[in-house]
A and B are shown apart, each in its own frame.
Chain A
Amino acid sequence: MLVILVLLYSPEGIEALCSAVGVDHTDVRMLMLAWKMNAEKQGYFTQDEWHIGLKALRVDTIGKLKKRLSNLKEEVMKPENFENFYLYAFRYCLTEEKQKSIDIESICILLDLVLGSQFRPQVDTFTEYLKIQNEYKVINMDQWTNFFRFCKEISFPDLENYDTTEAWSLVLDNYVEWMKEKAKLAAA
C-alpha cells in the first residue's frame, strides 16, 4: 500500500498502479478512477486525491480496488453521473496553464474512449470528419459539450431533427452537412 502511495505522485506511479490492477493506462477505467478521485492533473494523483478517492471507493487493498474498478463503470454510466464524467474527461486533458481547447487528434482518442461504447456510429463518423476537415485544429469545451448533446438528442444516422438554424456549434453544422452530402452520394 505504502509503496504504491510513494510512486503514485508520478506518471510512473500510475503505470505501476495500472499493472498492479491489471488495466491498461489508456483504458477508460483509469479515466473513471481519476474522475472518482477528482484528479486535477493528467498522469498524477495527489496524496489528498488518493486518500479521499479510496475512501469514497471504500477500498484499502489492491485486490479490492481491482474489483471496484470493474463496477465503477456501471456507476459512471448512470445518466446522472455520465455528463459530469464527460465534462471531467475534457478538463482532465487540459494539461497546460490557460489551455482551453484540445487538439483534434487527442479529441478523437478521448471521444472514442468516453463515448465509444454508447454512441459508436456517431463517434466514428465524427472523428472521421474531424480528421479530414482543416477548418478546425482544436476543439473547445463548448464544442465538446455540443457533441454530447448532439449524440443524445439527434436521431442517427438520418439526422432528421437536426435544425441548422439552432445554435449548434459550427463544426457540428459542417459535420452534418458532410454527412448529408455523403448520404446523397451513397444514394446516387
Chain B
Amino acid sequence: CDGQSYRLQKRMGLHSENHYKAEGKSSRAEIQCRGIYADLLVMVLLPCVLFSLIIYRCAYTLCTQMPRNDHSKELYDKYRETIEEHVNSMVLPSLKGKHGELMLRELVKGPPGVWESKGCCNRSGECCCFDCMLVFLPLYRLIVTFFNQIGQERNGEQIDQALLKKVLDIYVEVGMGKMDCYEKNFETMMLQDSAAYYSGKASIWISEYPYADYILKVEECLKQEMDRVSHYLHSSTEPKLLEVYRFVLSILRFVIISAESTIYNMCTQKPPHDYSQQLYDKYRESFEEYITSAVLPSLREKHDEFMLRELVKRWSNHKVMVRWLSRFFHYLDRYFIARRSLPGLNEVGLTCFRDLVYHELNGKVRDAVISLIDQEREGEQIDRALLKNVLDIFVEIGMGQMDHYENDFEEVMLKDTAAYYSRKASNWILEDSCPDYMLKAEECLKREKDRVSHYLHFSSEPKLLEKVQHELLSVYATQLLEKEHSGCHALLRDDKVEDLSRMYRLFWKIPRGLDPVSNIFKQHVSTEGTALVKQAEDAASNKKADKKDVVGLQEQVFVRKVIELHDKYMAYVNDCFTNHTLFHKALKEAFEIFCNKGVSGSSSAELLATFCDNILKKGGSEKLSDEAIEETLEKVVKLLAYISDKDLFAEFYRKKLARRLLFDKSANDEHERSILTKLKQQCGGQFTSKMEGMVTDLTLAKENQSNFEEYLSNNPNINPGIDLTVTVLTTGFWPSYKSFDLNLPAEMVKCVEVFREFYQTKTKHRKLTWIYSLGTCNINGKFDPKTMELIVTTYQASALLLFNTSDTLSYQEIMTQLNLSDDDVVRLLHSLSCAKYKILTKEPNTKTITPTDHFEFNSKFTDKMKRIKIPLPPVDEKKKVIEDVDKDRRYAIDASIVRIMKSRKVLGYQQLVMECVEQLGRMFKPDVKAIKKRIEDLITRDYLERDKDNPNIFRYLA
C-alpha cells in the first residue's frame, strides 16, 4: 500500500509539476501537491488507494484551472498548515510530557514516532517541520537536559553517548546544510557552560591540590574533552572547546607566572636570602615525598600485570609532573644549576623516579614482564602494548643510555630465553624428526623476531635471535643433522629439497653452522659417486666374465651417470644452498674424490677422453642431436675440472683426436672445434694449442694434397702410376709415432720419392718424416675365383706385396724383409692369416703366430664382396700414453723446480714442494715422491745443492 501510494504520489507530483512549470513557478508545485497529499494522508489515514486516486484527481483538477480558479496557492498553504498542525498537535505534546533523558529519547524515536514522522512529508516538507521544531529545540529545558548529561559525564558517570550524538545530529540536520541551529541553539551555550565549569573547578583545584596533581588533573580533563568531541559533539566544536580550555589554562599560567616570579625573587636576592639551593632541594623533595607517599604504596600493593599497568600510569604521570614542575623552576635551570653544574631539573625528576621506584621495583617488573613473555611463548594472548610501555620505561630511565634496559632487563630476559628454548629443544630433539624440528625452529625464530618488533627494543633483536639460534640449532646441530632417519643424509637421500633449503636458511645464520651441512653434503655426493664407480666396476668385471666385447659401453654409461649426478647436485647447490661458496667447494671436493678413482684399470682421464671420442666420431655409440652433443660436451668439460690428471686426459684426447682426423672418422668439424674452445676456456690456451694445431694441420694437408695432384698433372713424366695421398703434419702437435720403421716395397718407395721432390719445391728447410704405421693402401688381389680390392694398412700391404715374388715365406723372412719388430709382424700376419679374411695360409694351420710358421698366398680366397677391408687391430696405446705422460711430467716438474729455485735462490724443502704442486696443479697433481726424486736428480746434475747446515734447505746453483 505504501509503495503504491508513493508511486501514485510521484505520478501526481509529476503531473502538477509539468503543469506548474509552464507557469514558471517550477518546483513549488511538487511541494504543493505533496502538501495536499500529506495533509490528506494525515487526516484521512493512508491506505485507501481508491481514495488517493480521487485526491490526485482533485489536486489535478485544482491546479489545472484557469487562473481565476487555480487553487495552487491555497494548496501550498494547506500543505504547510497540515504539517504544522501535525507537529503541534502530536509531536510537541508528546515531548512536553517528558523530561530529561526520556525527553531526549522521545525526540530521537523512530517511526511512527515523533521525529521520524517527517518521513511521510518527504524532503520538501522538512523545512516546515523543522520550523516547528525550531520552536521546540531552543527550549531551555532541552539544553539543561543536555548540560546535565555532559556534567554527569564530567563527574565520571556513564551516559548514553549515542543518544547525545543522535540529538545533536538533529540540530545539525535541521540546519539543512548550515550550522546555525547547532551553533546558536546549542554550541554557544555549551561553551559558556564549559568555561564556567572549568573556571570553577580550576579555582578549587588550584587551592586544594599540589601543583603536580593539579597538572595531572588538567591533562586528564583535556583528554576527556577531546574524547567528548570525537564521541558526540560536532567536529567543528573542537577548536572552540580548546579555546575555552585555554582560558582555564590561563589561570594556570597565571599561577605559574606568579610562582615563577616568586621563585625568581627568591633566587635573585643577595646571599643570605638566596634560596636557590633550598628551592632546588625542595624541588627534589617534593618529588620524593610524592613518590613515597603516593606512588610506591599503590605500586607495592599490586602485583603482576596490574602492577605493570599501575607502573605505566604512574610513569606517564610522573613525566607530566616533571615537565610542569621544571617549568616553575625554570629559573633554577637556567642560572643556579648551570652555574653549579648540578643535574638539570628534568634529570633530577627522572632520577627521583629511578632511585625510588625503579630501583625498588625493576626486579619485580622484569620478572612480571618475562613471565608474560613466557606466557605468550606458550600461545597465550597478552597485552603487547602494556609490555611495550613497560619496556619503554627501562629505556627512558636510562636517559639516553641503554644500561638499564640491558642490565636490568635484557640480560635476564636473554637468560630466560636461553633456558626456555634449551628446555624446549631438549624435548623436541628427542621427539621430532629433523624436518619437523627445523619447522619449529624456524617458527620460533620468526616469532621472536615478531616479538622484538612489537615490544622489545630493536637492539635486542640480534642478541635474542643469537640466543635462540644457539639453543635450538648450535647446541643440537650434530644431533639434528645426523638424525638417523630424517637427518641431513636422509634429506639428501630422499631429495627433500624444501627441507634442505630450510636447513640452509637456519644454519646459514649461525657462525660456522654450514660447515657440518656442507660436510654431509660432500659425504653424500661422494658416496653416491663412489657407488657409481663401484657399479661400473662390477659391470666391467661382469662384462669380462661374459666376454661381451662391447667396447667402452659400460664406461660410456658411467660417464653419463656421473654427468647426471653432477647436474642433480649442481641444482641443489644453486637452489637449496643459494650458490654458497662452501657448497660449491663441497661439490668440487666430492667429485674430486670419486672422479679420480678410475674404473677397472682405466683412469677417469681416459674414460672422459673415450667418452668424448664416442660422441665425436662417426657411428659412435650414442646418437644425439647437435644441441645434445654440444650440451654433453659442455658437461664433460665441466667434469674435467674435477680430474687432477688433466695432462693424461689431454694425451688420451690427442691420441683419439689423431685417429679421428687421420682416418676421417670425425663426424662433425664444428663439434671438434667447439669442444676445443670449451677446453681452452677452462684449461687455458696451452692446454689446447696442440689439439688446435692438429685440426689446422688437417686443413692445410688437404690443400697440400690438391697442390700435389696439380703438380703431378703438370709433370706427367714423374707420375709413379699409383694414386698417392699424403697428409703432412707438424711434428709436436701430434702424438709421437714410430717412423721409418718399415722397409717399403719398391713401388711405394718411388711414390715417397716423388712426393719428397714435390715437397722440396715448396720448402727447402723442412724435413719429412714418414709414419708408415698410419698409412692405408688399396691393393688388388688377383685370386683365382676373382680379383678383389683389398683395403689394408701400409704394413699389411707391404707384407702382401712380398708374395708377388715368392710363393711361400717364413716368419723370419717376412720379418727381415719388412724390418719390423716381432710384435708388429705377429699382429699383421695374424690379421692376414688367422682372422676373418685368410689372404695367407699358414703352416701349421693354428690360431696363433709363432716364429717357426710359414706363409703362402691363398689364391683360393674369395668373398661375396668385391672390396673388403682387412682390419689391423691397433696396438694398445694406453701404456704408451701413460709412459709419455710420465715422461712429460718429469720434465714439467724439473722445469717447475728450476723456475722456482731460480727466483728464490734458497728455499725450504716443504715450501719448494708446495710451490711446485701449486704451479703444476692446473695440469696434474704431482706426487710428492716424484718431486723429491726430481729434486735429487737436479742435485746430481748440479742445479741444486743441500744447505750445509740445514739439510731441509736447498740452494740454487747458477
Q: Contact flags (1/0) for A160-188 with B, using CB distance below 8 Å? A: 00000111011001000000000000000
One of B16-24, B454-462, B931-939 contacting the partner: B931-939
Is there a chain A Cβ closer than 8 Å to B846's Cβ?
A: no
Assess the B952–A140 pair: CB atoms within 8 A: no
Contact residues in A for B909 (Cβ distance below 8 Å): 166-167
Asked if A165 meets B936 with Cβ closer than 8 Å, knowing A142-B946, A149-B951, A170-B929, the reply is no
Assess the A140–B929 pair: CB atoms within 8 A: no
From B935, B940, B946, B953, A101 is in contact (CB under 8 Å) with B940
Assess the A170–B933 pair: CB atoms within 8 A: yes
Contact residues in B for A127 (Cβ distance below 8 Å): none
Is there a chain B Cβ closer than 8 Å to A143's Cβ?
A: yes
Is there a chain B Cβ closer than 8 Å to A100's Cβ?
A: yes
Asked if A143 meets B932 with Cβ closer than 8 Å, knowing A166-B909, A167-B954, the reply is no
Contact residues in B for A166 (Cβ distance below 8 Å): 909-910, 951-952
From B929, B940, B951, A167 is in contact (CB under 8 Å) with B951
Contact residues in A for B933 (Cβ distance below 8 Å): 170
Which of B909, B910, B935, B936 is most buried by chain A, counting CB atoms within 10 A of its CB?
B936
Is there a chain B Cβ closer than 8 Å to A38's Cβ?
A: no
7 examples of A-B residue contacts, CB within 8 angstroms: A100-B940, A140-B936, A140-B940, A145-B946, A166-B909, A170-B932, A173-B929
Contact residues in B for A101 (Cβ distance below 8 Å): 940
The CA of A87 and the CA of B954, in the complex, are separated in Å by 19
A residues sitting closer than 8 Å to B (CB atoms) are: 100-101, 140, 142-143, 145-146, 149, 165-167, 169-170, 173
The CA of A100 and the CA of B945, in the complex, are separated in Å by 14
Assess the B939–A142 pair: CB atoms within 8 A: yes
Asked if A142 meets B936 with Cβ closer than 8 Å, knowing A149-B951, A167-B909, the reply is yes
Assess the A173–B932 pair: CB atoms within 8 A: yes
Contact residues in A for B954 (Cβ distance below 8 Å): 167
The CA of A143 and the CA of B952, in the complex, are separated in Å by 13
Asked if A143 meets B936 with Cβ closer than 8 Å, knowing A166-B909, A166-B952, the reply is yes
* Chain B minimum-CB-distance residue to A174: B929
The CA of A165 and the CA of B953, in the complex, are separated in Å by 13
Contact residues in B for A140 (Cβ distance below 8 Å): 936, 939-940
Contact residues in B for A100 (Cβ distance below 8 Å): 940
Contact residues in B for A145 (Cβ distance below 8 Å): 946
* Chain A minimum-CB-distance residue to B935: A167
Q: Contact flags (1/0) for B908-928 with A, using CB distance below 8 Å? A: 011000000000000000000
Q: Across the A-B interface, give the 8 residue pairs with the lowest CB-CB distance, nearest first.
A: A167-B909, A170-B932, A167-B952, A142-B939, A140-B940, A170-B933, A166-B952, A100-B940
Which of B910, B932, B954 is most buried by chain A, counting CB atoms within 10 A of its CB?
B932
From B910, B936, B952, B953, A169 is in contact (CB under 8 Å) with B936
Contact residues in A for B940 (Cβ distance below 8 Å): 100-101, 140, 142
* Chain A minimum-CB-distance residue to B929: A170
The CA of A21 and the CA of B169, in the complex, are separated in Å by 147
From A143, A149, A165, B910 is in contact (CB under 8 Å) with A165
Whole-angstrom distance between the Cβ of A70 and the nearest chain B Cβ: 33
Assess the B936–A170 pair: CB atoms within 8 A: yes
Whole-angstrom distance between the Cβ of A183 and the nearest chain B Cβ: 21
* Chain A minimum-CB-distance residue to B933: A170
* Chain B minimum-CB-distance residue to A146: B951
The CA of A6 and the CA of B954, in the complex, are separated in Å by 46
Main SS of chain B's interface residues? helix
Contact residues in B for A169 (Cβ distance below 8 Å): 932, 936
The CA of A140 and the CA of B954, in the complex, are separated in Å by 16
* Chain A minimum-CB-distance residue to B939: A142
The CA of A48 and the CA of B527, in the complex, are separated in Å by 75
Contact residues in A for B951 (Cβ distance below 8 Å): 146, 149, 166-167
* Chain B minimum-CB-distance residue to A142: B939
Excluding A166-B909, A167-B952, 18 further A-B contacts by CB distance (< 8 Å) are A100-B940, A140-B936, A140-B939, A140-B940, A142-B940, A146-B951, A165-B910, A166-B910, A166-B951, A166-B952, A167-B910, A167-B932, A167-B946, A167-B951, A169-B932, A169-B936, A170-B932, A173-B929
Contact residues in B for A170 (Cβ distance below 8 Å): 929, 932-933, 936
* Chain A minimum-CB-distance residue to B908: A167
Whole-angstrom distance between the Cβ of B399 and the nearest chain A Cβ: 63
The CA of A166 and the CA of B953, in the complex, are separated in Å by 10
Which of B910, B939, B953 is most buried by chain A, counting CB atoms within 10 A of its CB?
B939
The CA of A11 and the CA of B939, in the complex, are separated in Å by 33
The CA of A169 and the CA of B946, in the complex, are separated in Å by 11
Contact residues in A for B935 (Cβ distance below 8 Å): 167
Whole-angstrom distance between the Cβ of B361 and the nearest chain A Cβ: 67
Whole-angstrom distance between the Cβ of A140 and the nearest chain B Cβ: 5
The CA of A49 and the CA of B858, in the complex, are separated in Å by 80
* Chain B minimum-CB-distance residue to A153: B951
Which of A140, A167, A170 is most buried by chain B, counting CB atoms within 10 A of its CB?
A167
* Chain B minimum-CB-distance residue to A169: B936
The CA of A57 and the CA of B458, in the complex, are separated in Å by 94
* Chain B minimum-CB-distance residue to A163: B952
The CA of A177 and the CA of B933, in the complex, are separated in Å by 16
The CA of A170 and the CA of B935, in the complex, are separated in Å by 10
Whole-angstrom distance between the Cβ of B948 and the nearest chain A Cβ: 10
* Chain A minimum-CB-distance residue to B942: A100
The CA of A89 and the CA of B946, in the complex, are separated in Å by 19
Whole-angstrom distance between the Cβ of B939 and the nearest chain A Cβ: 5
* Chain B minimum-CB-distance residue to A165: B910
Contact residues in A for B953 (Cβ distance below 8 Å): 167
Quick one: which of B183-211 are within 8 Å of A by CB?
Answer: none
Whole-angstrom distance between the Cβ of B901 and the nearest chain A Cβ: 13
Whole-angstrom distance between the Cβ of B900 and the nearest chain A Cβ: 15
* Chain A minimum-CB-distance residue to B954: A167
The CA of A146 and the CA of B954, in the complex, are separated in Å by 14
Contact residues in A for B952 (Cβ distance below 8 Å): 166-167
* Chain B minimum-CB-distance residue to A171: B936
The CA of A145 and the CA of B953, in the complex, are separated in Å by 15
Whole-angstrom distance between the Cβ of B935 and the nearest chain A Cβ: 8
The CA of A170 and the CA of B951, in the complex, are separated in Å by 14
The CA of A100 and the CA of B942, in the complex, are separated in Å by 10
Contact residues in A for B910 (Cβ distance below 8 Å): 165-167
* Chain B minimum-CB-distance residue to A100: B940
* Chain B minimum-CB-distance residue to A140: B940
Contact residues in B for A143 (Cβ distance below 8 Å): 936
Whole-angstrom distance between the Cβ of B224 and the nearest chain A Cβ: 87
Whole-angstrom distance between the Cβ of A100 and the nearest chain B Cβ: 6
Q: Contact flags (1/0) for B742-755 with A, using CB distance below 8 Å? A: 00000000000000
Q: Contact flags (1/0) for B941-958 with A, using CB distance below 8 Å? A: 000001000011110000
The CA of A2 and the CA of B48, in the complex, are separated in Å by 177
Q: Contact flags (1/0) for B561-580 with A, using CB distance below 8 Å? A: 00000000000000000000
Whole-angstrom distance between the Cβ of B204 and the nearest chain A Cβ: 97
Contact residues in B for A142 (Cβ distance below 8 Å): 936, 939-940, 946
Whole-angstrom distance between the Cβ of A154 and the nearest chain B Cβ: 12
Q: Contact flags (1/0) for B80-111 with A, using CB distance below 8 Å? A: 00000000000000000000000000000000
Whole-angstrom distance between the Cβ of B713 and the nearest chain A Cβ: 59
* Chain A minimum-CB-distance residue to B909: A167
Contact residues in B for A173 (Cβ distance below 8 Å): 929, 932
Quick one: which of B13-35 are within 8 Å of A by CB?
Answer: none
The CA of A170 and the CA of B929, in the complex, are separated in Å by 7
The CA of A100 and the CA of B940, in the complex, are separated in Å by 7
Whole-angstrom distance between the Cβ of A11 and the nearest chain B Cβ: 29
The CA of A100 and the CA of B935, in the complex, are separated in Å by 16
Quick one: which of B880-928 are within 8 Å of A by CB?
Answer: 909-910
The CA of A112 and the CA of B803, in the complex, are separated in Å by 64
Contact residues in A for B929 (Cβ distance below 8 Å): 170, 173
The CA of A100 and the CA of B939, in the complex, are separated in Å by 10
* Chain B minimum-CB-distance residue to A149: B951
The CA of A73 and the CA of B935, in the complex, are separated in Å by 36
The CA of A6 and the CA of B3, in the complex, are separated in Å by 162
The CA of A145 and the CA of B948, in the complex, are separated in Å by 11
Whole-angstrom distance between the Cβ of A158 and the nearest chain B Cβ: 21
Contact residues in A for B936 (Cβ distance below 8 Å): 140, 142-143, 169-170
